[in-house]
């Protein structure tokens, strides 16, 4: 039995409900389009959230039923934005280039809507990898559609499992801004991270600050500026939560913020 299943919480600590939007199965490379449409999500995100005491729930991509989606959102104490396929550049008013990979318009719409609702309500949001990019786009920012190192601007960021890399492979270091909220969480100016992405932030969104960067300058961590819990990292901390103290604090802080939101709003 894993640690994620053996940890227990005292009854005095209510467990917050955290929404995790799903992904359309057919948006994943190699999945035939003619199959009946399905919604899926990597289970590792859920085990990482339960490890710190949150209760994750899958959010369906109800693109034609905003009323039901809003009703589900109202029950959530926090929103977790996971990794996944590329965001359609139309979401940030740019044309799609050949280097952009497969997209999932239904997921884009639902995640952007949930993020904007949460920002308005000051509901805690934690994003990882694609989730960082969703938050940036929701705040009016844009993305680099491919950060391949060929042109010399970027280091290698795409250490994907289908290339033989383990999902917890620590690919490169990032620099953490001291005095920032993420700096307080990781308690180090330099940390090693895994890296499974080929897109990144181009123009930073409104009311966001970049507090973690890769050696090439690419933004790897962002946080909101209004005091609400709004944090995101470009790597995949769900793979490191059981082994790295700083990562565990990141999830613990998110869970604590969601718990506080629940207590404050009676959700």
Q: DSSP assignment of 124-187, as one string?
A: -EEEETHHHHHHHHHTT--EES---GGGSSS---B--GGGT--TT---EEEEE-TTSHHHHHH-
Which pLDDT does position 143 carry in this prediction? Answer: 98
Helix (H) or strand (E) holding 19: strand 17-21
157 is catalytic: no
pLDDT at site 150: 66
pLDDT digits (tens, 9 = 90+) for 201-213: 999 999 999 999 9
Out of 111, 223, 238, 253, pick the active-site residue.
238
β 143-144/219-224 pair status: unpaired
pLDDT value of position 153: 87
**Per residue in 62-104, pLDDT tens?**
999 999 999 999 999 999 999 999 999 999 999 999 999 999 9
**3-state DSSP helix/strand/coil percent for the chain, to nearest 5?**
35, 20, 45
236 catalytic per annotation: yes
Per the prediction, the chain carries an average pLDDT of 93
Q: What is the pLDDT of residue 200?
A: 97
What gap in Å lies between CA 187 and CA 17, rounded to an integer? 27
The closest alpha carbon to 147, from 137, 158, 160, 136, belongs to 158
pLDDT tens-digit profile of 28-37?
887 887 778 8
Q: Domains for the chain: give ranges and CATH numbers.
A: 3-265 (3.40.50.880)
Q: Which of 157, 220, 236, 253 is catalytic?
A: 236
Catalytic residue, candidates 129, 197, 223, 253: 129
């Amino acid at each position: 039995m894993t640690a994620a299943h053996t940890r227990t919480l005292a009854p005095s600590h209510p467990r917050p409900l955290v929404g995790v939007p799903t992904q359309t199965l057919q948006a994943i490379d190699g999945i035939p389009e003619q199959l009946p449409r399905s919604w899926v999500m990597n289970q590792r995100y859920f085990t990482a959230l339960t490890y710190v005491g949150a209760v994750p729930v899958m959010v369906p991509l109800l693109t034609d039923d905003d009323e039901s989606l809003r009703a589900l959102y109202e029950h959530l104490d926090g929103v977790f934005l996971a990794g996944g396929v590329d965001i359609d550049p139309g979401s940030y008013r740019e044309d799609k280039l050949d280097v952009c990979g497969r997209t999932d318009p239904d997921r884009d719409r639902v995640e952007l809507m949930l993020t904007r609702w949460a920002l308005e309500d000051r509901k805690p949001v934690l994003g990882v990898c694609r989730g960082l990019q969703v938050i940036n786009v929701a705040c009016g920012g844009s993305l680099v559609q491919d950060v391949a190192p060929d042109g010399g601007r970027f280091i290698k960021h795409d250490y994907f499992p289908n290339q033989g890399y383990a999902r917890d492979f620590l690919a490169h270091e990032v620099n953490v801004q001291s005095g920032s909220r993420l700096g307080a969480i990781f308690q180090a100016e330099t940390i090693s991270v895994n890296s499974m992405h080929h897109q990144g932030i181009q123009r930073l969104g409104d009311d966001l600050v970049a507090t973690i960067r890769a050696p090439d300058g690419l933004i790897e961590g962002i946080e909101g500026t209004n005091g609400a819990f709004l944090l995101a990292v470009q790597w995949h901390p769900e793979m490191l939560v059981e082994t790295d103290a700083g990562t565990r604090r990141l999830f613990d802080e998110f869970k604590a913020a969601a718990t506080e939101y629940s207590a404050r709003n009676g959700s």
